[in-house]
Amino acid sequence: MKLFELKYGCNPNQKPATVYMKDGSELPFTILNGRPGYINFMDALNSWQLVKELKEATGLPCAASFKHVSPAGAAVARPLTDIDRKIYFVEQKEVSPIASAYIRARGADRLCSYGDWAALSDVCDASAATYLKDEVSDGVIAPGYTDEALEILKTKKKGKYNVIQIDENYVCAPQETKDVFGITFEQGHNNFKIGEELLKNIVTENKELPKDAVIDLIVSLITLKYTQSNSVCYVKDGMAIGVGAGQQSRIHCTRLAGSKADNWYLRQSPQVLSLPWKDDVRRPERDNAIDVYTSDEYEDVLRDGEWQKVFKEKPPVFTAEEKKAWIATQKGVTVGSDAFFPFGDNIERARKSGAQYIAEPGGSIRDDNVIETANKYNMVMAFTGMRLFHH
């Protein structure tokens, strides 16, 4: 296929819309099911680059959950714990590595992953397809699909679920172009490789960077490479747990990503794990209810009686003091930034969400203040020397 005609572009009024190769060659993907739209393709092609690069850097199966051209989550494959299975609603007894990667990627921020585009670094198997089938999702991109997985996915959304197979050997042209207001921009494709060598310049007094933290920082930096800037990413155990994307202020990125990391951790608290769900409550309703339960608005919801829609009995209020105390037990989090931290306040905020390891480009006139703040909390911070803006 050399050209694919889209229903419309970003918005319904933007017609005609097509996808094609400028040199007239075949498109490097095959549409196996559905009819993806403009934004679907933007998510698919950006998310594929992320998981492909993350797999090359770590050697592990990887997955991403994308919404509006930024990752809501990204993760490498790891065995699921009993708590993982409960908070991510995993009913399958056996979970394959690529399925675990997607379950964890989506689990980072289940609210933002609602209606996502999924990307898998490896062949989609029946295990991954079975989990995807029960989630609200727009489509998936992978280098291949087993026959059983494809049949499962074709039953989703009344047979209209978008399934794209990408040529994993495709390499894009070294130069890329983009039109804005009828004016064409050209630049070299961002082929900068992110790996362990990028973390050698440790500028803090504490220079002990364990292997697990190295992997987490690589996950953070590669995630940032494909996140709309400004952006900050918190990672733990090979999984992005908070992505702050597209903010004009660095501190707002750090706060947004930190609040998402806090929400992820609150899902694991005894208060949330013991919520008395009604039997017929669907996953999206549970996600929304957990978000309300862990927010400051829950007492108002209790008074309004809304709890009766999802809970068998009224849960106790999760107080601000209890939430703060639980979040304070979070440790070993890594944080990456796509550009330098201009002030130490970013470090202060990251610390509140358990940050212990940080990677950022450096280069601020206040680097000394940022390093001093990190030293105050015995953190390990590496200056990568490389900005990772993505627009």
pLDDT reading at 138 higher than 90: yes
Catalytic residues: 67-68, 230, 391
pLDDT reading at 160 higher than 90: yes
d(CA 145, CA 153): 10
pLDDT at 348: 97
pLDDT at 303: 75
d(CA 44, CA 65): 10
- Could you tell me the pLDDT band of residue 298, with boundaries at 50, 70 and 90? confident
pLDDT tens, residue by residue, 271-290: 999 999 999 899 999 999 99
pLDDT tens, residue by residue, 184-242: 999 999 999 999 999 999 999 999 999 999 999 999 999 999 999 999 999 999 999 99
Name the average pLDDT for the chain.
Answer: 95
- How does DSSP assign 329-362, residue by residue? T---EEEEESS---STHHHHHHHHTTEEEEEE--
- Could you tell me the pLDDT band of residue 300, with boundaries at 50, 70 and 90? confident
pLDDT at 232: 97
Q: What is the mean pLDDT of residues 372-380?
A: 98
DSSP 3-state percent helix, strand, coil across the chain (nearest 5): 35, 20, 40
pLDDT reading at 305 higher than 90: no
- Could you tell me the pLDDT band of residue 304, with boundaries at 50, 70 and 90? confident
pLDDT at 297: 84
pLDDT reading at 67 higher than 90: yes
Q: What is the mean pLDDT of residues 342-370?
A: 96
Long-range contacts from 369-377, C-beta under 8 angstroms, 24+ separation: 369/343, 369/344, 370/340, 370/341, 370/343, 370/344, 370/346, 371/203, 371/204, 372/344, 373/344, 373/347, 373/348, 374/204, 374/347, 375/204, 375/205, 375/206, 377/347, 377/351
d(CA 333, CA 131): 27
